[in-house]
């Protein structure tokens, strides 16, 4: 595997960790503030950071947005919709059920990338994805006995997120990562800001800090993910998002006091094994190219 793809894998793993930390703060603050208020703070921090990046890089924002066109708008719209659905599900259903359904996102990325971006979907990608799903099921032991609406929201979040990431991969050829994130963050901040006003709750200092943490770790995860998709094909790096299952289980054990059962450990090992298999497969496939 070349250094560019190796870096993309590392960025995706750190991104998954960052999003897992964000999810913990979403859960901790969901009892006091509504979903749209969480989404607003999540994207406001990203917008500030993205604006700084755009200014520092002296990018022609308007020109690049025009080049992005419908694909850039679709990435922002479906990305925002996915966040709202995921945050709602996180606050109203069992974490194991939400996490399990949300892990279908890489499946949709691989599927959409094959259909719309004409990326190759080989047996290794299919088999490793199935292994990751099986590992996620073993690790989280979902009962799916939560209310139907939050469960449907979690699954729908995975589907629209998969479409958003595919559009992100499409945009990478003619729109810089900073502009992609700036457009997405601005779109999401405005939409969430309007929708949160009717039910706005003044957060306590503790919860306000949690909201800032949601924004900081979401921004870190978003930047890393965007750069990872720029460096490698979407169907190759999306599977590394499953590492979030392992990160979430460990963080839930440390922060939320949730049990870390033997099934969680076995499932995590299955996921890590599948991820290592994919990494080694692509590394060996590309070895002849260097010789």
Q: What is the pLDDT of residue 11?
A: 94
Question: For 16-75, what is each residue's pLDDT tens digit?
Answer: 999 989 988 988 898 899 988 998 999 999 999 999 999 999 999 999 999 989 999 999
- Name the residue among 82, 81, 99 with its Cα closest to residue 90: 99
| Under 8 Å between Cβ of 186 and 80 | no
Q: What's the whole-model pTM score?
A: 0.81
Q: What is the pLDDT of residue 237?
A: 85
Cα-Cα end-to-end distance for the chain: 13
Q: Report d(CA 253, CA 257) in Å as an integer.
A: 5
Q: What is the pLDDT of residue 100?
A: 73
Q: Report d(CA 18, CA 4) in Å as an integer.
A: 21
| Under 8 Å between Cβ of 261 and 115 | no
Q: What is the pLDDT of residue 133?
A: 85
| pLDDT average per 10 residues of sequence, the chain (291 residues) | 82 93 89 90 92 92 91 94 87 74 81 83 83 82 74 89 90 88 94 92 94 94 90 84 84 80 83 87 68 48
DSSP string, 178-221: HHHHHHHHHHHHHHHHHHHGGG-----HHHHHHHHHHHHHHHHH
The single-letter DSSP state of residue 242 is G
Q: What is the pLDDT of residue 290?
A: 53
Classify the phi-psi angles of 69: left when phi > 0, otherwise alpha if psi is within -120 to 50, otherwise beta: left
Q: What is the pLDDT of residue 241?
A: 86
Q: What is the pLDDT of residue 284?
A: 79
Q: What is the pLDDT of residue 10?
A: 93
């Amino acid at each position: 595997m070349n250094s560019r793809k190796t870096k993309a894998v590392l960025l995706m793993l750190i991104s998954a960790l960052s999003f897992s930390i964000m999810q913990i703060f979403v859960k901790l603050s969901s009892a006091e503030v509504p979903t749209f208020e969480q989404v607003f703070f999540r994207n406001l921090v990203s917008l500030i950071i993205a604006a700084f990046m755009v200014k520092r890089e002296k990018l022609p924002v308007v020109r690049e947005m025009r080049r992005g066109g419908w694909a850039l708008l679709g990435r922002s719209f479906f990305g925002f919709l996915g966040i709202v659905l995921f945050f709602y599900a996180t606050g109203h259903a069992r974490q194991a059920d939400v996490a399990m359904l949300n892990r279908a996102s890489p499946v949709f990325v691989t599927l959409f990338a094959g259909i719309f971006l004409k990326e190759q979907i080989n047996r290794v990608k299919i088999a490793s994805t199935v292994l990751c799903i099986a590992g996620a099921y073993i690790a989280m032991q979902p009962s799916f006995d939560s209310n139907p609406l939050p469960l449907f929201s979690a699954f729908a979040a995975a589907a629209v997120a998969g479409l958003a990431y595919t559009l992100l991969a499409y945009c990478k050829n003619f729109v810089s990562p900073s502009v992609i994130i700036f457009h997405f963050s601005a779109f999401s901040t405005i939409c969430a800001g309007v929708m949160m006003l009717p039910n706005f709750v003044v957060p306590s200092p503790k919860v306000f800090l949690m909201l800032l943490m949601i924004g900081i770790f979401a921004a870190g995860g978003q930047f890393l993910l965007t750069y990872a998709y720029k460096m490698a094909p979407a169907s190759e790096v999306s599977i590394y998002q499953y590492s979030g299952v392992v990160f979430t289980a460990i963080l839930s054990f440390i922060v939320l006091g949730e049990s870390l059962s033997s099934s969680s450990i076995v499932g995590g090992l299955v996921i890590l094994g599948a991820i290592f298999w994919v990494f080694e497969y692509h590394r060996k496939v590309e070895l002849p190219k260097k010789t």
